C-alpha cells in the first residue's frame, strides 16, 4: 500500500529540471527531488533564474523517518 508524497524540484525559465548530475534537462523523470521546500530554495539560489516547483507523486513508502535521516545527514556534511 502506498501514499502520495509531496516533493519539490528546481526548474529553469524554459521548463527544464535540475538533475542529479546538476545539469538541466527536459526529462522530468531525471529531476533532482527535494522533500523540503527550504532545501530546494537554498539549492535554487545557486542557479539564477530558476524556480522551485511543488508536485506530488505516488510512493510505496511514506516519508516518516527517512526525511529526518536525510536532513540530519545533510546537516552533518
pLDDT digits (tens, 9 = 90+) for 5-50: 999 999 999 999 999 999 999 999 999 999 999 999 999 999 999 9
Closest CA to 15 of 32, 28, 33: 28
* CA geometry: angle 21, 16, 35, nearest 5 deg: 65
Question: Which residues make Cβ contacts (< 8 Å) with residue 26, sequence separation at least 6?
Answer: 15, 16, 17
What global pTM score does this model have? 0.75
**Arithmetic mean of pLDDT, 63-69:** 52
Q: What is the pLDDT of residue 6?
A: 93
**Is the predicted pLDDT of residue 2 greater than 90, yes or no?**
no
- The parent domain of residue 10 ranges over 3-76
**Is the predicted pLDDT of residue 59 greater than 80, yes or no?**
yes
Residues 5 and 59 sit within 8 Å (Cβ to Cβ): yes
Count of structural domains, the chain: 1
Amino acid at each position: 500500500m502506498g501514499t502520495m508524497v509531496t516533493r519539490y524540484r528546481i526548474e529553469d525559465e524554459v521548463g527544464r529540471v535540475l538533475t542529479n548530475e546538476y545539469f538541466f534537462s527536459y526529462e522530468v523523470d531525471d529531476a533532482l527531488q527535494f522533500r523540503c521546500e527550504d532545501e530546494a530554495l537554498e539549492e535554487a539560489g545557486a542557479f539564477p533564474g530558476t524556480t522551485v516547483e511543488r508536485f506530488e507523486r505516488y510512493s510505496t513508502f511514506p516519508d516518516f523517518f527517512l526525511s529526518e535521516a536525510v536532513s540530519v545527514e545533510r546537516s552533518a556534511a
